[in-house]
Amino acid sequence: GAVVSQHPSWVICKSGTSVKIECRSLDFQATTMFWYRQFPKQSLMLMATSNEGSKATYEQGVEKDKFLINHASLTLSTLTVTSAHPEDSSFYICSATGGALENYGYTFGSGTRLTVV
């Protein structure tokens, strides 16, 4: 149980375009979802926390107008990278939790590798 599906697993886009990444909880209701970014050979950096039905809370230094997060249902959160540039190329990972899952740690998606050309 407690599966988080992330889609797409990789995407290549042109500079200036927008890319949407989906994060779905398949067998539980995710009251809270998190979005991370990871550059090569670095650790995961938390970008934002989203609670279902409310605005996301962004970490310091993360541009909320560039990284749009929507958590409109208990099973889906999306991250849209707007006007992507090559420096946005990174590995984006979501995680989710809800209810009793708190006792077993959060479940992470398999990640999305974004390459902006």
Partner 1 sequence: DAKTTQPTSMDCAEGRAANLPCNHSTISGNEYVYWYRQIHSQGPQYIIHGLKNNETNEMASLIITEDRKSSTLILPHATLRDTAVYYCIVRVSNTGNQFYFGTGTSLTVIP
List residues binding partner 1 (CB under 8 A): 4, 6, 31-32, 34, 36, 43-46, 49, 51, 91, 93, 95, 97-99, 102-111, 113
Least gap, CB of 72 to partner 1 (angstroms): 18
Mapping DSSP to helix (H, G, I), strand (E, B) and coil, where does residue 4 land? strand
Least gap, CB of 5 to partner 1 (angstroms): 11
Select 84 or 94, whichever has its Cβ closest to partner 1. 94
Select 16 or 26, whichever has its Cβ closest to partner 1. 26
Task: Give the contacts of 79 (CB within 8 A, at least 6 positions apart).
Answer: 20, 21, 23, 35, 47, 67, 68, 69, 92, 94
Select 13 or 44, whichever has its Cβ closest to partner 1. 44
As a whole number of Å, the CA-based R_g of the chain is: 13
Burial of 94 (0-12, 13-18, 19+ CB in 10 A): buried
Least gap, CB of 84 to partner 1 (angstroms): 20
User: CA 8, 10, 12: angle at the middle one, nearest 5?
Assistant: 115
Least gap, CB of 83 to partner 1 (angstroms): 26
Select 14 or 103, whichever has its Cβ closest to partner 1. 103
Compute how many other C-beta atoms are within 10 angstroms of the C-beta atom of residue 48: 22
